[in-house]
Structure 1
């Protein structure tokens, strides 16, 4: 705060931050701080040092303030400033609006709001200082497209041709070594090479172009590690993992191996282009050590169909698992499972989630009787109704256990076989009847019929452990 500026209640100030900020209204003034609230919402009370409250947006030397707050001396219509900027956009169609805002030392969000209001024909007031800075902009002062908006640039094609010649003639030299010698980032050089090789237009800063054109193979020899190894086994291992696993992108493989993603991508791209490059032995060892991938990647199963996935999802519901439990076990969301159940079309991530949940939950009953009852009402078949070999075949029919909702099909012999099977699976009497959708009373009636029909000398039925004949289960 300058000596001739006095802070008083009800004054409004603008933020000087280049990123913009809310206007504040002074509510009380102390000896060193002022109390302020948001000028629009009259909320968010805060203490502002008096030294951060300024009468002007510029310093005594004329520099633009970047911190603190400036007194709102009045607001004016933003339309003239917006029309002026729109004329500049016509003259510089490829120049981002944010670049114009930075050049005018105006928050980009403020300029975008001004332009948006003008496009909609809406009235919008703006601080007089902001409007003044926008009106002072001229096309001649703005960054030129040919100079890359941040420095002079030139066509990258001849520069990359020179780099490619070095790489082809000296396969032991890596892209990283060239980038280090030119003091530029590896990712920038790799991306520029990729674009030029694909025939896409690309520019490069003049200072980098001059450094790259001046490079010779002899200059790069010291930058190249003599202990580099052939990258072919690494590329083959990445391809093997991608063939064996779904959702196995190069970035995911690099992250799992603990190596740089852009470097590994560059190695694979160079190998595909016929440039046999070396790779650091540590990186090679980390990638070659990968024999399997964690979730969300999962082993590729080409025989799995959307029909089979629907059967698995509904089978888990018939077993008493809620969509929340299935989503947690598969590492996905309930919405994704609901959408899949409605559309019948699975994305790779949903496919991974359903298969993972099936592996975790299909061999034990769920905890939701409501999920089991709703699945029964919708005639969804439980997991034991399907064989793993046929569950993905659209024409397959449920086998092995009674399909939910198909009452009246039980015979004494069929029940005996089912109970024997479930006993071998480790299920007790209660769990078995829950799987079969039978009440205890009905099961005992069928077994009594079976015992009457058994010929003398036949072995008795071995029931599942822990029978509970008096307990009736909801089918």
Structure 2
């Protein structure tokens, strides 16, 4: 074992004891109080589920920080999770001096070392610099005033021996999301047997410090994923945002509300509403709309209001599109007469539209209604004395 490493088992047992003493406190809060990245602490605890903590080691500085945390030091529900506050000015002046003297230090690393959230420290620094009064928790102020910058720098610049480069994991995640619709990071993490929060924290830490890695065991689980199960589905490259918007509008024309469509696709109504206003899709949204289209496009919906509103807006129904045209931005719906089209009906045009719509399964009466024509007018255009319904 390296000189700067120590066994992780005692550290894990101590953290588990802290969790039992403060069961309502998030693990991330314990990590912040100890000045440790939450992804590091979560990966330590995750190893207890896989019986790997007996052989795992941890950086000596991290172990010392975690072992120094006492249950009495942590926020408590009975005390309102608050604690005594104090004027933030002396601590903020000290932090400003540290950041000026040690450019390699980041605000986020300083905040975590003092048990604060980066946003809280940033807000306090901003207020003090602007001359506005600001108070912070007394315990956090004391931690900031006694920070050891050399220890912070050594922890920030050193990569643990049990971690690997995170960039290869990020590249693999992107590749999976390009191959599969409905493949969110959370779904990929669940499939790999990794906590989504652990992966999210690792990615966040990577944006703050690209030198930080990810635990080797976690990286191996994600990199081992070659194929994803349902509800992820192979991505169809020909699907366009225009085609997705047409599908969404067509389902509304058939009488389906956004709530119905979201329930069928497994996505929120809020997300569909945002997409309808600004058509920019994600893999999850693409998969949701395609799944709803497959389930709902061949049957009428329950909402006459949705149907009426869609028709007023001139949206084309599902039968007006086919798989070859719906994703082509230049294509026009078939079987729908454009009200702005000034050319009069003629026998050839009407015969073409009736043939198309009847091949789709509509009766001639239904087709004429879709085209906005009555039976008498159709007979006049076609020159027929009779028109079979």
TM-score band by shorter chain is 0.5 to 0.7
The yes-or-no answer on 1:144 pairing with 2:151 is: yes
CA distance, structure 2, for counterparts of residue 193 and residue 239 of structure 1: 11
Q: State the match for 2:307 in structure 1.
A: 372
Greater relative contact order (Cα 8 A, min sep 6): structure 1 or 2? 2
Map Cα deviations across residues 4-39 of structure 1 (whole Å, 9 max, x no partner).
xxxxxxxxxxxxxxx79xxxxxxxxxxxxxxxxxxx
1:266 to 220, 230, 235: 220
Report matched runs for 1:299-378 at 5 Å.
299-378=234-313
DSSP-derived class of the 1:98 partner: helix
1:293 to 204, 229, 238: 229
Map Cα deviations across residues 260-319 of structure 1 (whole Å, 9 max, x no partner).
9975853886xxxxxxxxxxxxx8xxx78x6x7312x23322222333333222222222
2:111 to 98, 113, 116: 98
Q: State the match for 1:383 in structure 2.
A: 318
CA 1:331/1:87 → structure 2, altered by over 3 Å: closer, same or farther? Answer: same
Whose helix fraction is larger, Structure 1's or Structure 2's? 2
Superposed CA RMSD in Å reads: 5.4
CA 1:449/1:191 → structure 2, altered by over 3 Å: closer, same or farther? Answer: closer
Unaligned runs of 5+ residues in structure 2 are: 1-28, 31-69, 200-215
Q: State the match for 2:127 in structure 1.
A: 117
The yes-or-no answer on 1:189 pairing with 2:123 is: no
Deviation at 1:356, TM superposition (A): 1.9
Normalization by structure 2: what TM-score? 0.52
Report matched runs for 1:24-423 at 5 Å.
66=73, 78-93=88-103, 94=105, 96-98=109-111, 101=114, 115-124=125-134, 133=142, 137=145, 144-148=151-155, 188-191=162-165, 245-248=180-183, 252=187, 255-256=190-191, 263=217, 265-266=219-220, 293-295=229-231, 297-399=232-334, 401-403=335-337, 405=339, 409=345, 417=355, 420-421=358-359
CA distance, structure 2, for counterparts of residue 254 and residue 77 of structure 1: 42
Map Cα deviations across residues 331-390 of structure 1 (whole Å, 9 max, x no partner).
333444344444444333333233222212211122222222222222222121223222
Unaligned runs of 5+ residues in structure 1 are: 1-18, 21-62, 157-183, 196-234, 270-282, 455-459, 464-475
CA distance, structure 1, for counterparts of residue 89 and residue 164 of structure 2: 45
Give the total of aligned pairs.
Answer: 288
CA contact (8 A) 2:325 2:331 kept: yes
CA contact (8 A) 1:306 1:344 kept: yes
CA distance, structure 2, for counterparts of residue 114 and residue 82 of structure 1: 7
CA contact (8 A) 1:82 1:114 kept: yes
CA contact (8 A) 2:320 2:336 kept: yes
Whose strand fraction is larger, Structure 1's or Structure 2's? 1
CA 1:263/1:119 → structure 2, altered by over 3 Å: closer, same or farther? Answer: same
Normalization by structure 1: what TM-score? 0.44
CA contact (8 A) 2:256 2:307 kept: yes
CA distance, structure 2, for counterparts of residue 392 and residue 325 of structure 1: 23
